[in-house]
Amino acid sequence: MIQVRIKPGVEDRIRGFFPWVYRPEIISYSKQPKKGDLVVVRDYSGRFLGYGYINPSTNISIRIVSFNKEEPIGEELIRKRLKDALDYRKRLSLDSNAYRLVHSEGDFLPGLIVDVYGEYAVVEFTTYGMRSFKDWVVKALVELLKPKGIYERVSDYVATIEGVEDKGGILYGDVPEEVTIWEHDLKFLVLVPRGQKTGFFLDQRRARRLIRNFVKPGDECLDLFCHTGGFALNMKRAGAKKVTAVDLSEEALKVGKKNASLNQMSDVEWLEANAFDFLRKMHAEGRRFDLVVIDPPSFAKNKASVPSALRGYKELFFRGLHVTKPGGYLVVYSCSFHIRREHLLQTLLEASKDVKRQVRIVGESIQDLDHPWMLQTPNTLYLKGIYAEVL
């Protein structure tokens, strides 16, 4: 196996279980590595730090999979990690047949995402190196889950950054275009091969249930960036009289409409629009809602884009506060690691000053329990939500 030595000073971080080695931190290789090669990471004086895999052309060059000298990377280790991940999910009361089985570093498998939708699993390898363990992953998933099918999704981002040329597809069994899952007392259709991400935003399961606390029978609610109606249907279930659900994606809205009929719900208005334009229009017309949910996609994929992302949030919060009735609720989320809880609170505070409305924070949420995050790898905590009563 290729031996890699790293610069003095970096070893403390790795001994503290930080699993990444950045390219400039590498001093030498025992042999020039290729993308996906297994490596042993050593400190400058040759002491063992961990086993990992390498991509010499990316900024995060090495991901450490094992910090234990007695546990080298191999089929057995991958199977054990997957079994541990499943055992942990079995302990949780997620109230759904859809869950995240593997959350990358959060399950000690950097570069691997596995989402389970009933009898099907969707796999996403977010690094070239983890993708080279594909056969082991599929074999273990078949043994552990006994699924009807496994599908691989390859995002454009991963294809570009990691240089994965494959387009993904069925890895095992058969996978239909649409899978019906249940979450709490609702059913949802998931487009496994074509939907956004792996098909459904499982991370918001707990928040979708939580939102029911802020709905009174007869309320008028707004679900901005609604995707296939996750929040909209929960608002209806909690007794909302009317829900307006807005998204840019025609396909997501089509599924949203099907989801409403699957749950025998009416009075959801599905609107294909840019949420920013829609909010501006509602503000100009003086429209107000009892509950407004804002769950946008990630506006900040890196640190450099934080200022522009915050401008986007400021605009959404400013208009969102305007269109919330006195005593109503504005609930906002961010799914970007780079946008911290403090950023959201500060931006909301500034928007509330501009709008001259007092705001009481009544709750907060993060990604659900099947998305565990590592204290040593803070990027694994990416989703935050703030629940604000607008006076």
Ligand X SMILES: C[S@@+](CC[C@H](N)C(=O)[O-])C[C@H]1O[C@@H](n2cnc3c(N)ncnc32)[C@H](O)[C@@H]1O
- Chain residues binding ligand X by CB under 6 A are 196, 201, 204, 208, 225-228, 230-231, 246-249, 252, 274-276, 295-297, 335
C-alpha separations of 190 from 121, 187, 256, 370 in Å = 12, 10, 10, 18
Nearer to ligand X, 249 or 305 (CB): 249
Rounded to a whole number of angstroms, the minimum distance from the CB of residue 202 to ligand X is 9
Helix, strand, or coil here: 8?
coil
Which residue is nearest to ligand X, using beta carbons?
A: 230
Rounded to a whole number of angstroms, the minimum distance from the CB of residue 200 to ligand X is 7
Rounded to a whole number of angstroms, the minimum distance from the CB of residue 201 to ligand X is 4
Which positions are annotated as active-site residues? 335
Report the distance separating Cα 77 and Cα 42, nearest Å.
20
Report the distance separating Cα 51 and Cα 30, nearest Å.
15
Nearer to ligand X, 67 or 117 (CB): 117
| Helix/strand/coil percentages in the chain, nearest 5 | 35, 30, 35
Rounded to a whole number of angstroms, the minimum distance from the CB of residue 274 to ligand X is 4
Nearer to ligand X, 226 or 332 (CB): 226
Nearer to ligand X, 132 or 298 (CB): 298
Helix, strand, or coil here: 389?
strand
**Which strands form 2-6's sheet, in the order they lie side by side?**
20-22, 60-66, 48-54, 38-42, 2-6, 26-29
State CA 211 to chain mean position distance: 18
Quick one: tokens of 372? Answer: 């565990």
Nearer to ligand X, 41 or 252 (CB): 252
Rounded to a whole number of angstroms, the minimum distance from the CB of residue 174 to ligand X is 26
Beta bridge partners of residue 6, listed in sequence order: 26
